Structures are given as structure tokens and as C-alpha cells.
Amino acid sequence: MIKDYDIYIISDSVGDTAEQVARAAAEQYKDADYEIKKHPYVESKAKIDDIFESIPNKESLVVYTIVSEETTKYLKKICNEKGLPCIDIMGPCLSTFSDFIGQEPARESGVIRKLDEDYFKRVEAVEFAVKYDDGKDPRGILKADIVLIGVSRSSKTPLSMYLAHKNYKVVNIPLVKGAKVPEQVYEAPRKKVIGLTIDPSDLIEIRRERIRVLGLDSGVDYVSIDKIIEELDYAEKIMRQVGCPVIDMTKKAVEEAANLIIDIINDLN
């Protein structure tokens, strides 16, 4: 019975999957000690040769996740020549998927790593949207992918969050009559700035509901139709000065508006 052995993890990506599977299996054998030796980003025969030259005359086995057929065949050949047992983690899985889907795999290495990168970009974008929500810090304007401007309750924040989940860094700036518009709004590239407008009658209903939820006085200027029209006129003036595209949010779902914004941004790039 083997008491001490090495597990060689060979992967064309990070190798975490192969390591986790190998470790889970190895832990089932309590009387045998093992050491993991991981070799990530192995994508050539030369690298495989280097790895096997370093393997001592000690009991060892190889666990690998490699999607290239050519590299996999070479690795199996070397293992057979050296009498080393090897375990292909990806091969049987890809074969079953291919039979099920009726399509050959792309055999692209590092796919999970790319998915992880997308995930962290999305988290970064969400954190960015929260940090610069509602004009908290105008310094974010020049760092943003998209800058939304509009009056209160024109869906700036919901749009910011939705777009953040699409990996866009978004700043939203409220346009309030009597309050200075941050200079960065005028300095930002026109292709990044999107104005949001909305029908006054719809906006007053949205604001009334907001007032009701907050338990505030329904007689405030915030829900005055005259004041709302003044605000919208002021916002429209600012948008003309900025020279940005304007989207009418009346009866428009956030998803629909977000897709329009993405189309505008892509068309202008």
C-alpha cells in the first residue's frame, strides 16, 4: 500500500478545478499522505516535457484539465511512457456535453477565468454606481462609462443599477433648478451623457407615491404640477446645453430604456 505520494495538477488555466477534485478524492484515503504540485497555464508540449523532467522517482499520479486535444494526447502519451496514472477531468465531461448538445466544444482554455473576470467587473460597476449615485461625488463623472442626467424620480438610479449589472460604470446626476450643475457634466464626452425626461402627469404620480411611502406632506412643491413642469423645462434646457441624447422614460420599463442607452453608446463609439 502506498503511504506517501505526489499529485501533479496540470491545467491550461488556473487548475483550481482539478485541484479540488483531486484533493476531495485524496482525502478519502486517511492512511496515505500526499502533496499537491500544481502547474497552471500549461498549453504546450514543451511545458509538459519540463514538468515531467522534474517528477522524481516517487509514487505520483497526474490529474489534468486541458481542453486542447493535441496537448491532451501528448500528456497521455508521456504518462503511459513513464507509467504514471493520469486522470482527465474535462474529457469525459466534454464528451457527454457534446453528445447531449450535438455540437463540438470550442476547446478554449481559461473560460472559467474569463467568467470570473466578468463577475468582478460587474461587482466593480455596481460599487461604482452606488458610490456615485444621485450626484454624491461629481468626480465620478469623468471616470464613468455612462452619465445619466434628469430630474428626481426619472429612473436614474434604477437605470444605473441595471446598467451596472451589464458591466457599465454609471454616474447619475439630478438636475435641480437653482442648484449648480457640476462642471464635469459639460466636460464629459458627449457620447457618454444621456438625458432622461418624462411626462409631467406620470412624474407627479410617481412622486406622489414616493411621498406616500415616506409619510411626508402631500402639499409640498415636490408634487406640484407647476413646479414639476418648471423642473422639466429647466432640465431640458440643460440637456440642450450639454448636447446629449434624450430618452423619454414615460411608460418605459428600465430594461427597455437600458437597451436604448446601450445602443446609443455603442452607435456613438
pLDDT digits (tens, 9 = 90+) for 88-125: 998 888 889 999 999 888 777 666 566 667 778 888 99
Is the full-model pTM beyond 0.85? no
Mean pLDDT of the chain: 91
Exposure letters 114-128 (e unless 16+ CB within 10 A, then b): eeeeeeeeeeebbeb
107 known member of a binding site: no
Residue 55 has pLDDT above 70, yes or no: yes
Higher pLDDT, 75 or 113: 75
152 known member of a binding site: yes
Summarised one tens digit per residue, pLDDT across range 154-190 is: 999 999 999 999 999 999 999 999 999 999 999 999 8
Which helix (H) or strand (E) segment is 149 a member of? strand 146-150
151 known member of a binding site: yes
- What domains appear along the chain, each with residue ranges and CATH number? 4-109 (3.40.50.10700), 113-268 (3.40.50)
154 known member of a binding site: yes
Q: Nearest Cα to 51, choosing from 3, 84, 89, 22?
A: 84
38 known member of a binding site: no
The mean per-residue pLDDT over the stretch 230-243 comes to 96
Q: Nearest Cα to 175, choosing from 147, 216, 201, 202?
A: 147
156 known member of a binding site: yes
150 known member of a binding site: yes
Contact 29, 57 (CB under 8 A): no
Cell of 112: 472559467
